[in-house]
Structure 1
Amino acid sequence: MGKRIITISREFGSGGRFIGMEVAQKLGVKYYDKEMIGQIAEQSGFSPKYIQENAELSPKKGLFAYAFSGRDQMGRSVEDMIYEAQRKIILDIAEREECVIIGRNADFILKDRDDVLNVFIHGNMPEKVKRICGLYNVTEQEAIKMTEDIDKRRMSNYRFYTDQKWGMASNYTLSLNSSVLGYEMCERIIMECGGR
């Protein structure tokens, strides 16, 4: 059976977002990444700017600090409310249409469906640093710091909400090194494994 939905988790700087965009375009399906921000903001009641900065990343670097962030009377943190809104939107999208979804723990949220291809894109540090320097106009040292910080926050968010290890191959159908394979080969493998 072909996969209707492709989720792409990725290391910062690995090109996962670009690969996902290309796959969606070539398959003629919807692409969801920042496009979900408005919907998440509407459902959660938080501003789109806040969602953009916090929906996929833990606000604290450590899991312990993350677990004890401010809570409402029902014990939910701001992050919990955003995550729940995001989860509902991802489930709704998956019911509605074929698509590519970038990040946002979509692989875990859709784990019970058999029509999902879960992909993790990673890369070698020199290539990721070069890409980040070019995209964000930063020094190599700044690029390394950005990579470490963003990936650490993604890892904390994923672990907190899924109780799984982010990037562990067993959590995904495919784990692809974009530095070794190149973007076009990653795209071809994803499309072929999606049964299209």
Structure 2
Amino acid sequence: MKNRVITISREFGSGGRTIGKRTAEKLGIPCYDSELIHEIARESGFAESYIKDAGEYAPGGFFASAFSNRAFGPTNEDYLWQIQYHIITELAEKGPCVIVGRCADYILRDKADCMKVFIHADMDFRAKRIVDVYGEREESPVQRLKDKDKRRAAYYRFYTDMKWGHAQNYHITLDSGKLGIDKCVEILKGLY
């Protein structure tokens, strides 16, 4: 029997991580987010800070685009992708859970009874939220949002050949700015 898994993909600052954690708490199931980074670090030997960054960059940037046949062999990011793929698959097989980010929606597309969710919100909501949650930075909140979302989209496209945030790739998309974090949690709990 397949297990019930919720995957949460999200725009930066939309509250997707918070929604995932609160939904898991309400359902009494584990939520995997930073735990994934820890586990990937343990299996790969790479530092957690490196894995956190590598999970949002397509391998090699422009260089990889120009030489997409990977004539020089697999990259560190490719190695980490394989480990990530394996860990996410194992977690889904182990039991019901919520998995935040890391292309889990794609990885589990055929491997689990999986509800694929995308959380988004308008730029003003997200900009205010990242300042409230993460504090001010030298770079403007809007620029931080654009940069982070661009990296996530490129990583997702590189490894899945699908468009990140494209509604057809998900079972449900929720606007956390309009609905609120708590309502998004209620909706996901109700759909589970």
TM-score of the two chains, using structure 1 as the length reference: 0.89
Counterpart position of 1:27: 27
The code of the aligned residue for 2:111 comes to: R
Pairs within 5 Å for 1:30-41: 30-41=30-41
User: Residues 2 and 127 (structure 1 numbering): CA distance in 2 closer, same or farther, change over 3 Å?
Assistant: farther
8 Å Cα contact 1:4/1:116 also seen in 2: yes
Cα drift, residue 2 of structure 1: 9.7
Identity across matched positions, percent: 47
Q: Corresponding residue for 1:58?
A: 58
Query: Partner residue of 1:185?
Result: 183
User: How far apart, CA to CA, are the structure 1 residues paired with 2:28 and 2:17?
Assistant: 16
- Which segments of 5 or more consecutive residues in structure 2 lack a partner in the other structure? none
**How many angstroms does 1:133 deviate by?**
1.3
Pick from 78, 81, 91 the counterpart of residue 80 of structure 1.
78
Separation of aligned partners in 1, 2:32 and 2:51: 15
Q: Structure 1 residue 3: deviation in Å? A: 6.5
Please give the per-residue CA displacement for 1:150-174, whole angstroms capped at 9, x wherever unaligned. Answer: 1000000000000000000000000
- Structure 2 counterparts to residues 10-159 of structure 1, below 5 A: 10-58=10-58, 64-67=62-65, 68=67, 75-113=73-111, 115-138=113-136, 142-159=140-157
Q: Contact 1:56/1:103 (CA < 8 Å) preserved in 2?
A: no
Please state how far the C-alpha of 1:141 moved relative to its aligned partner.
6.0
* Contact kept? 2:127, 2:141, Cα under 8 Å: yes
The 1:140–1:47 alpha-carbon spacing in structure 2 relative to 1, beyond 3 Å, is closer
Q: Is the 8 A contact 1:57 1:150 kept in 2?
A: no
CA RMSD of aligned residues (A): 2.3
Q: How many residues align?
A: 190
Contact 2:59–2:78, Cα closer than 8 Å, also in 1 = no
Amino acid at match of 2:23: V
CA deviations 1:8-48 (Å, max 9, x no partner) are: 00000000000111001110100100111121112222112
Is the Cα–Cα contact under 8 Å of residues 129 and 144 in structure 1 kept in the other structure? Answer: yes
DSSP 3-state at the match of 2:57: coil
Name the CA distance, whole Å, in 2 between partners of 1:19 and 1:12: 13
Within 2, Cα distance between the matches of 1:66 and 1:142?
A: 29
In structure 1, distance between residues paired with 2:63 and 2:104: 24
Q: Which amino acid aligns with 1:180?
A: K
Note if contact 1:43-1:85 (Cα within 8 Å) is conserved in structure 2.
yes
Compared CA separation, residues 160 and 27, structure 1 to 2 (3 A)? same
Displacement of 1:178 in angstroms is 0.5
TM-score of the superposition, structure 2-length normalised? 0.90
Higher alpha-carbon deviation: 36-45 or 97-106:
36-45
